[in-house]
Amino acid sequence: MLIRNFIGGKWVNAKGEKTFSSLNPADIRLTVAEAPLSEQEDVDLAVGAARDALAKWRLMPAPRRGEILFRAGGLLIREKQRVGELVTEEMGKVLAEGLGDVQEAIDMAFYMAGEGRRMQGETVPSELPDKDCKSFREPLGVVALITPWNFPTAIPAWKIFSALICGNTVVFKPSSDTPACAAALVQILEDAGVPPGVLNMVCGSGADVGEYLVTHPLVDAVSFTGSCAAGERLEGLLGRMHRPLATEMGGKNAIIIMDDADLSLALEGVLWGAFGTSGQRCTAASRVVVHEKIFDTFGEMLANAAAGLRLGNGLHKTTDVGPLVNEQQYKKVLDYIQVGIDEGAKLVTGGRGVSVGGSVNGFFIEPTVFTHVTPTMRIAQEEIFGPVVSIIKCVNLDEAIKIVNDVPFGLSSAIYSRDVNTTARAERDLKTGIVYVNASTIGAEIQMPFGGWRHSGSGHPEAGGRGGALDFYSRMKVVYRDYSGRLQKAQIDK
**Catalytic residue IDs:** 248, 282
Q: At what angle do helices 62-78 and 95-115 cross, to 10 degrees?
A: 160
Please say whether the beta carbons of 131 and 84 come within 8 A: no
Q: How far apart are CA 136 and CA 468, in angstroms?
A: 16
What 227-236 contacts at long range (C-beta under 8 Å, 24+ apart), as own/partner pairs, is 228/383, 228/455, 230/206, 231/457, 231/458, 232/455, 235/458
- Dihedral through CA 290, CA 293, CA 295, CA 298, nearest 10? -90
Partnered with residue 462 across adjacent β-strands are: 450
Q: 352 by DSSP, 3-state: which? A: coil
3-state SS track over 228-274: HHHHHHHHHHHHHHCCCEEEECCCCEEEEECCCCCHHHHHHHHHHHH
Helix, strand, coil proportions of the chain in percent (round to 5)? 40, 25, 35
Q: What string of DSSP letters covers 71-104?
A: HHHHHHHHTHHHHHHHHHHHH---HHHHHHHHHH
Q: How far apart are CA 27 and CA 130, in angstroms?
A: 71
State the Cα angle at 474 between 468 and 476, rounded to 5°. 105
Q: What string of DSSP letters covers 375-387?
A: TTSHHHHS---SS
Q: How far apart are CA 143 and CA 138, in angstroms?
A: 13
**Residue 101 burial (CB count, 10 A):** 26
One-letter identity of residue 32: V
Partnered with residue 2 across adjacent β-strands are: 34
